Structures are given as structure tokens and as C-alpha cells.
Amino acid sequence: MKHLLKMLDLTSAEVIDILNLADQLKYEQKHGIPHKILEGKSLGLIFEKASTRTRVSFEVGMYQLGGQPIFLTSKDMQIGRGEPVQDTARVLSRYLDGIMIRTFEQKEVEDLANYGSIPIINGLTDFCHPCQILADLMTIREFKGKLDGLKMCFIGDGNNMMNSLIVGALKTGMSIAVACPEGYEPHPDVLAFAKEYGDKFSMFRTPREAVVDADVVITDVWASMGQEGEAEKRKKAFDGYQVNAELMALAKPDAMVQHCLPAHRGEEITEDVFEAHADEIFEEAENRLHAQKAVMVRCLGDDK
């Protein structure tokens, strides 16, 4: 695997391979078995948006793999003053062994990959969040013992999370039903991809229709990073798109809940549902570390 730019680029076999390696690395870390697979390597972490989980899990993950993470905020880099991404990519390729970038436009990530000569890992764009989805799939498989044949349900905005979950679920044999208000649908490229999977993908206007018999229910904030100015408008648009006890009653009795975090209790999810599923949600947060270590090994490792 050269890069991780978006879930659409991965084959089903590559997704499963990352999940298997993530499980192995998690086991090794829990049992004190060192795995300094990336000794001597450096990974730049470029952040153009805020982060808690992504930053810390990449930094700690790179350290555990024997490598060096370098935290870079765009506001402290020349890229933040207008230096073209094409030049930044070619310069950083001469120092680093890989770059993780969190930014707005997917094109910026693709440009880094096209102009640079080192692996690029997408740490979230407006279009997708592949690292998060790999951790989500890892967590679902951990709790349910399998992915194939399960039903995922996503309630809310057709944002980076919904886009990536649709692709990730379908590539691993799950079916997925989503519910979103008019005007907040997933990206057309994702809808085109999902079309190939027939009735394994379905899109509804009401959460009640989407959640029926779901094995896993997922939601995300109504206003993503960069959309803070639309928060009030979005609160109105997403009225009724809350994951609450009444909605969960329509899912399978043993349905699990995932949330990439940060969560807005009382908006997209109620406090009681969040707390009832806190073990699953915080395991998901932990699994960012293990899944991303697997991604780093596959992208930066010598035996890729």
C-alpha cells in the first residue's frame, strides 16, 4: 500500500489485512512484545484543523513503532502563508519517510501524494476519514466477531464519516443504511460506488427506517470542523436525527453504538445512549492507535 488517501482506494483484501495487522499489534502492545518496525523513520503530522485523538494516537503509535513523529501545524508552516502544496510535498519528501495530513480539501491530500515521493496518510478531510473508519471496523469486528453479514446504520450528516463508513462497510461485506435530511446526502462519488452493491446500501429520510435490525448504530456531529458558522441552521435541519433510546429500541437488542468523537450530547446522541455504550465508544477511540500503527507499517515499512 503506497498511500492511504481514501477508503475508495483500498481493496477489500487490503482493508482486512490492515485490520488483521492492527489486531496483532494490539495484542503485542498489551503483552509487552516490542515491535519497533519503523526504527529510524520519521513521519510528519500536518494539522490544518484541531485534533485530540488523531494527533496523540499518531504520535504515540509512531513512538511505539520505533520511529519519530514530527507535529506540524499549518499555521506555523509556510504552507499556511501560501507556499504551494506542490512545493511543500517535494521538500518534505527529502526529509521525511511519510506524511499524515488533516486538512479541508481532499485535493490537497491527493496533490501531496502526486507531487511528493513519500507515503501520504489522510488524517481527515471534508470528504473522508479513513483512519477513523479502519478503527471503527476493527472495533465492530472485536465486539461482534465478524463484519460480513452485519448491518451498519449511520444517522446524520452526509459528511466525511458517512462517506467513509459507506465504503468501508460495503468493502467488508456489511450492509449499510443511512438516514440524512434533504441536502445533506453523502458525496456523489460515494453514492456511485454504493450503487454497485445493490440493496446492501440504502438511504432514508427517517432514522426509524434506517435503524431497523441494525447491528451497529453510528452517528457524528451535525456541524463538522469548518462548518461552525452553520451550526444553528444545521441544528434545525437535523432536528429528529438523534440517536436516542427510542431509536435504539428499533435496532437489534444487542446493537452496539460507535461515535468517532468529539460527541455533542443532547444533539446527535443522548447522554444515556452514549453512556450505555461508552465501553464500545472508548474502545473505538483506543483502536485509532492500533489501526493507524497498522497503516503506518503498511505504508512506511520496508516489507510492504
Active site (annotated) includes residue 68: no
User: Active-site residue among 288, 292, 298, 299?
Assistant: 288
Q: Is 261 in the site for ligand CP (CB under 6 A)?
A: yes
Q: Is 165 in the site for ligand NVA (CB under 6 A)?
A: no
Among 260, 281, 285, 296, binds ligand NVA (CB under 6 A): 260
Among 42, 74, 139, 160, binds ligand NVA (CB under 6 A): 160
Cell numbers that stand for 167 in this block:
465504503
Instruction: Give CA separation, 77 vs 54, 73, 93, 239, 304, in Å.
Output: 19, 7, 15, 40, 31
How crowded is the C-beta side of 134, counted as CA atoms within 13 Å?
A: 36
Q: Is 260 in the site for ligand CP (CB under 6 A)?
A: yes
Q: Which of 299, 2, 21 has its CA nearest to residue 137?
A: 21
Q: Is 51 in the site for ligand CP (CB under 6 A)?
A: yes
Residues 6 or more apart whose CB falls under 8 angstroms from that of 292 comprise 57, 58, 61, 121, 131, 134, 135
Active site (annotated) includes residue 128: no
Window contacting ligand CP (CB under 6 A); options: 18-26, 50-58, 143-151, 248-256 = 50-58
142, 287 Cβ separation under 8 angstroms? yes
Active site (annotated) includes residue 288: yes
How many residues bind ligand NVA (CB under 6 A)? The answer is 9
Window contacting ligand NVA (CB under 6 A); options: 27-35, 37-45, 165-173, 220-228 = 220-228
Closest residue to ligand CP, Cβ-based? Answer: 54
Compute the distance between CA of residue 210 and CA of residue 212 in angstroms, rounded to an integer. 6
Among 108, 110, 215, 220, binds ligand NVA (CB under 6 A): 220
User: Active-site residue among 132, 242, 258, 292?
Assistant: 132
Compute the distance between CA of residue 169 and CA of residue 150 in angstroms, rounded to an integer. 9
Element (H, E) at 130: helix 130-144
Nearer to ligand CP by C-beta: 51 or 73? 51
Distance in Å, CB of 291 to ligand CP, minimum = 12
Window contacting ligand NVA (CB under 6 A); options: 57-65, 71-79, 219-227, 249-257 = 219-227
Q: Which of 172, 123, 159 has its CA nearest to residue 18?
A: 172
Active site (annotated) includes residue 132: yes
100: amino acid identity, one letter: M
Backbone φ, ψ for residue 171 (5° rounding): -70, -15
Partner in contact with 52, chosen from ligand NVA, ligand CP, none, beta carbon below 5 to 8 Å by kind: ligand CP
Nearer to ligand CP by C-beta: 160 or 175? 160
Compute the distance between CA of residue 85 and CA of residue 74 in angstroms, rounded to an integer. 11
Partner in contact with 221, chosen from ligand CP, ligand NVA, none, beta carbon below 5 to 8 Å by kind: ligand NVA
Q: Is 53 in the site for ligand CP (CB under 6 A)?
A: yes
Instruction: Give CA separation, 84 vs 6, 108, 112, 118, 177, in Å.
Output: 22, 10, 10, 17, 40
Among 161, 218, 289, 300, binds ligand NVA (CB under 6 A): 161
Compute the distance between CA of residue 111 and CA of residue 270 in angstroms, rounded to an integer. 39
3-state secondary structure of 205: coil
Distance in Å, CB of 225 to ligand CP, minimum = 7
Q: Which residue bears the cell 459507506?
A: 166
Contact set with ligand NVA (CB under 6 A): 124, 159-161, 220-221, 224-225, 260
Contact set with ligand CP (CB under 6 A): 51-54, 124, 132, 260-261
